[in-house]
A = this chain, B = another copy of it.
Amino acid sequence: MTKRRFYSTSGLTVGEIVAMTGARPPPGARLGRRITNIAPLDRAGPADLTFLDNAKYAHLLATTGAAACLTAERFANRAEPAVCVLVAPEPYRAFVTVARTLFPDALRPSSLFAASGASPGAAIHPSARLENGATVDPGAVVGPDAEIGSGTVIAATAVIGPSVRIGRDCSIGPGTSIVHALVGDRVIVHAGVRIGQDGFGYVMTASGHIKVPQIGRVIIQDDVEIGAGTAIDRGANRDTVIGEGTKIDNLVQIGHNVEIGRHCIIVAQSGISGSATLGDYVVLGARVGVTPHVVIGEGAQLAARSSVTRDVPPGARLGGYPVKPMKQWLREIAAIERLGRREEGGKKRDKSADE
């Protein structure tokens, strides 16, 4: 297969990179050299910028074909002489700054049909309101009284339900559906996300389950990003809220009435049960489970796969099932391993002790 690129870029000079990152170039650096792409150390070529901030990969610096490398002081002298080593206190952050400038189109998904405005193949209800500069791809459906802000792109086959309001400069991915929701500005919703459908609520009786009407909304504040396949249910009788700047990965489940604070990180396949509350800056590792009505304090961090069955104080670092301090959890894992090893001999000793 020939190399096919999904973005083009006009590039930056090394001098421009130095200026935007504050990195220190080596003496005599060719500041006019042109960088047109980014790449990892082992794949980088003569027009690529790379970075190094992990000792594990430092050996690659000696053989990389990169034009330039952002790295820390301590690795600077390990590079192949042809590489222009740019020293920065936070190499990865500097690298990301350059990448964002090189690939501005990658900061937010755009139309999948090179469309602008309302595409002929989209079904837009006459009562819906699109601001100037909103784009609706073919195959998308926008319901009655919906509002779409300027700069926002509704991708092919996305569905925006009645009375939904979506702010400006948002990107709504292909196949995504948004109903009973208000969405802020600069929100990115990736493909196949499900927002605003009924939560899971029944009165259970011996003759069957009676559906509880779900009449709340979903409120998604500014600068939120939501990964593919994630489901966020509407509130039952209040609103489900995703706070400003929060980032949610793929295939996450968020139940009705959940309130998530600002700038949280929710990694893939996590599940947050109904009416749970997360403070600001909470981090849930991959596949964390949160039971109903639990409150997780600001800045708490939960290790991957942990299961939150009780309130968590602010700033706590917990893991395991049920969650406990990381140190305690790791000690228990070690204790179980020792117990397993001891069992063979132990069974005999137990036996004689019991006698």
Contact = CB atoms under 8 A, between A and B. Distances in A.
Question: Does more than half of chain A's interface fall in helix, strand or loop, or is it mixed?
Answer: loop
Nearest to A329: B340
B237 A231 contact: no
Interface stretch (A10-18, A74-82, A283-291): A283-291
Interface in A265-299: 265, 267-269, 271, 273, 286-287, 289, 291
A106 interface: yes
How many copies of the polypeptide does the oligomer hold?
A: 3
Interface residues of A, number: 116
A100 interface: yes
A169 interface: no
A259 B350 CA distance: 45
A229 to B, nearest CB: 5
27 contacts: A4-B165, A4-B217, A38-B237, A39-B238, A93-B210, A96-B203, A96-B213, A106-B214, A109-B179, A113-B162, A119-B123, A121-B123, A157-B159, A175-B194, A192-B231, A200-B267, A227-B231, A228-B231, A231-B250, A286-B289, A286-B291, A289-B304, A328-B337, A332-B336, A335-B339, A335-B342, A339-B339
B200 A249 contact: yes
A200 B247 contact: yes
Contacts of A287: 271, 289
Nearest to A230: B229
Contacts of A245: 208-209
A4 B192 CA distance: 25
A191 interface: yes
Interface of A: 1, 4, 6-7, 38-40, 43, 92-93, 96, 99-100, 102-103, 106-107, 109, 112-114, 119, 121, 123, 125, 137-141, 143-144, 155-157, 159, 161-163, 165, 173-177, 179-180, 182, 188, 190-192, 194, 197-198, 200, 202-204, 208-215, 217, 219, 223, 225, 227-229, 231, 233, 237-238, 245, 247, 249-251, 253, 255, 263, 265, 267-269, 271, 273, 286-287, 289, 291, 304-305, 307, 321-322, 324, 328, 331-340, 342-343, 350
